[in-house]
């Protein structure tokens, strides 16, 4: 993937990893469009990064996604990179499940990127050099029991990304999976940068961008701190990792 002279759309770009990626790519001279539900959050990012654009997007509405893609490609015809980053995480008690929570997580985390990709792909295929980057999670490989549906959606997104890469062989569209560890974002309460269990956004983005500079770009972006989870099955550490994650709780 080339790191300059792109027009990049980032969902969930108003905070956390999405904002970090947006600012990193913007600093390299790319044209960046951030999208999300909260206009005030998007405005904070664009105000701090003159020249960056923003558009609101409701990932839960299939019709809104189609209209959004039509508008964004009209306003930014050189759009050639999609970063599917938006996601939500909610703790769940499967002994007394709240199905509405599970449905919301699946809609945003899995159907959202699938729908955006499907709507935007015809445009990306027409670009001379393009890319789709899906942000999954180390929890795609070892589930976090307190967030079972979140973990399941990330596992599904990983599988979808692998298949998408096969389907797009021989096309101008490169497919990359970004696999974060626990990062100090506002995804859930208590993700403080001072908590040693969480990687700071700044450190995570810096290491991720360094890997993206590799030629050729790896199919997966695995920073050092996520490798324990990513390769737990292969290294025989799955049960150990699962037990570690099983001891962690989250407040709602």
184 bridge partner residues: none
Predicted local distance difference test score (pLDDT) of residue 191: 56
The Cα 93–Cα 236 span in angstroms is: 28
- pLDDT at residue 189, rounded to an integer: 55
Q: How far apart are CA 117 and CA 109, in angstroms?
A: 13
| Torsion region of 183: left, alpha or beta (phi above 0 gives left; psi -120 to 50 gives alpha) | beta
Region 7-246: CATH code: 3.40.50.720
Q: What is the mean pLDDT of the chain?
A: 94
Residue 185 has pLDDT above 90, yes or no: no
pLDDT of res. 63: 96
pLDDT of the residue at 187 = 62
Query: Which DSSP category does 183 fall into?
Result: B
Say yes or no to pLDDT of 252 above 50.
no
- Is the model's pLDDT at 251 over the cut of 60? no
The reported pLDDT for the residue numbered 248 is: 84
In degrees, rounded to 5, the angle at the alpha carbon of residue 147 between the alpha carbons of residues 210 and 38 is: 65
Question: What whole-number percentage of the chain has pLDDT above 90?
Answer: 91
pLDDT at 159: 98
User: Helix, strand or coil for residue 105?
Assistant: helix
- CA–CA separation, 167 vs 8, rounded Å? 22
- Domain map of the chain by residue range? 7-246
Q: Compute the distance between CA of residue 50 and CA of residue 208 in angstroms, rounded to an integer.
A: 23
For position 249, what pLDDT does the model report? Answer: 74
pLDDT at 190 over 80: no
Query: pLDDT class for 250, splitting at 50, 70, 90?
Result: low
pLDDT at 90 over 70: yes
Q: Clarify whether 150 is annotated catalytic.
A: yes
- Catalytic residue, chosen from 25, 141, 144, 150, is 150
175 vs 185, residue with greater confidence: 175
Decide if 139 contacts 123 (C-beta within 8 A): no
| 6 has pLDDT over 50 | yes
The answer to whether the bond into 240 is cis (omega within 30° of 0) is no
* The pair of three-digit structure tokens given for residue 77, joined into one six-digit string: 């015809």
pLDDT band per the 50, 70, 90 thresholds, residue 97? confident
Residue 120: per-residue pLDDT: 98
Tens of pLDDT, residues 212-237? 999 999 999 999 999 999 999 999 99
In the chain, which ranges are E strands?
Answer: 7-11, 31-36, 53-56, 81-84, 130-135, 173-179, 220-222
Rounded alpha-carbon distances, angstroms, from residue 109 to 3, 133, 135, 252? 26, 14, 10, 19
Average pLDDT over residues 109-129: 98
């Amino acid at each position: 993937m080339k790191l300059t002279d792109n027009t990049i759309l980032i969902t969930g770009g108003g905070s956390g990893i999405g904002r970090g990626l947006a600012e990193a790519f913007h600093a390299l001279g790319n044209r960046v469009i951030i999208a999300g539900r909260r206009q005030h959050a998007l405005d904070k990012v664009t105000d701090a990064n003159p020249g960056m654009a923003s558009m609101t997007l409701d990932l839960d509405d299939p019709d809104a996604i189609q209209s959004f893609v039509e508008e964004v490609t009209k306003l930014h015809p050189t759009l050639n990179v999609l970063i599917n980053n938006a996601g939500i995480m909610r703790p769940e008690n499967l002994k007394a499940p709240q199905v509405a929570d599970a449905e919301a997580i699946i809609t945003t985390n899995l159907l959202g990127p699938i729908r955006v990709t499907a709507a935007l792909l015809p445009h990306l295929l027409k670009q001379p050099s393009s890319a789709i980057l899906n942000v999954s999670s180390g929890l795609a490989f070892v589930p976090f029991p307190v967030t079972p549906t979140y973990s399941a959606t990330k596992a599904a997104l990983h599988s979808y990304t692998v298949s998408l890469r096969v389907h797009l062989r021989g096309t101008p569209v490169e497919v990359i999976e970004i696999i974060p560890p626990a990062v100090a974002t506002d995804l859930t309460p208590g993700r403080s940068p001072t908590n040693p269990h969480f990687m700071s956004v700044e450190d995570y983005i810096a290491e991720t961008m360094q890997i993206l500079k590799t030629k050729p770009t790896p199919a997966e972006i695995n920073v050092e701190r996520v490798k324990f989870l990513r390769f737990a099955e292969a290294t025989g550490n799955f049960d150990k990792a699962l037990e570690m994650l099983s001891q962690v709780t989250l407040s709602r």
